[in-house]
Copies of this chain bind each other. A is one copy, B any other.
C-alpha cells in the first residue's frame, strides 16, 4: 500500500474508534459531550495515533489491538490544544480552520471538556484487552510521566511563560523536546510496549521518535513562516506576533531546513534493524518534512 493510503486508512480507523469511545453526544450532561467531540472528531492529521499503531506493527503486533491507546494519545493531544487555546493561555480564536472550543462552548465548558478528554484518555489506556496488564501499567506510567510537568505540560509552561523573552538554542530545544517531542516518543513507545516489544527494539524506536519529533517541530516553525493559511487551517506568522522563538528565528530558514533533513535521516537510520515492517515509519518520516499542512 502507498504511504498516503495507509495513513488515511489508519486515520479512518482512529476516527471510527474515537466515535465509539467518546460518549454519544446526547449522553447526560449533553453539552460537555458535544464540546469533547467538537475538538476531537473530524480534524487533525492523526499522526500520533498512526505512530501508536505503527509502533505495534513494527514489532509484529496488531494495529487494531492498540486502538484504545492510539485514541488515548489523540485525546491527550486534543485536551492540550483546548486548554492552550483558552484566553488565560494563548487566547486563540481559531484552530484547524474553525472556532476554538471556548469560542463555541464558553470558557467553563472548554476547561471541563479538556479535563474530561485527559481523564478519558486514561480510561482508554486501561482498555487494551490483548496486552499484558504489566505492559498496560507500564504504558500508563510512561504516558502520565511524559504528559506531565517533566514532559508535555513542562514544555507548555516554559513556552507560555517565556513568550517575548530572549530564548537560546538550549531553551528552544527544551520546549520542543517536551511540548512536541514527548508525545511522539510516547506514541511510538506505547504501541511497541503494548505489542510486547523487546528492550532493544524499544530503544531503536525511541531514537526514531525523538528525531521525528524534532523534525516535525522544525517543519511546523517553517510552515508558520511561509506556509499556506488555507492548507494549514490557521493563520501563519503567529510565532512572530506572539514573539515566540522558533528554529527559523534562531538559525535562519536554510539552516532550519538542513536541521530537519538531518533529523529525518537520523530517524530513518534508527530503523535499520526492522526491515520492511518499518516501511510505514520511514515514509512517515519523509512525509513530516515534505508536507505543506
Contact = CB atoms under 8 A, between A and B. Distances in A.
Interface stretch (A6-14, A44-52, A135-143): A135-143
Contact of A154 (B29, B137, B154): B29
Interface stretch (A59-67, A105-113, A216-224): A105-113
Contacts of A108: 88-89, 160-161
A122 interface: yes
Contact of A153 (B86, B112, B141): B112
A115 B118 contact: yes
Contacts of A120: 144, 148-149
Given A111-B83, A120-B144, A144-B120, A32 B154 contact: yes
Main secondary structure, interface of A, reads helix
A27 B149 contact: yes
A36 interface: yes
A106 B87 CA distance: 12
Contacts of A115: 79, 83, 114-115, 118, 153
A133 interface: yes
Q: How many copies does the complex hold?
A: 2
Q: Range of interface residues on chain A? A: 35 or more
A161 B34 CA distance: 15
A157 interface: yes
Given A88-B107, A137-B126, A144 B157 contact: no
Contact of A119 (B36, B106, B127, B144): B144
A259 interface: no
A158 interface: yes
A116 B31 CA distance: 25
A202 interface: no
Given A107-B88, A123-B141, A133-B133, A116 B29 contact: no
Given A29-B157, A115-B115, 20 more contacts: A29-B158, A32-B149, A83-B112, A88-B107, A89-B108, A112-B153, A115-B118, A116-B153, A119-B148, A119-B149, A119-B153, A120-B144, A120-B149, A121-B144, A122-B122, A123-B141, A126-B141, A127-B141, A132-B133, A140-B140
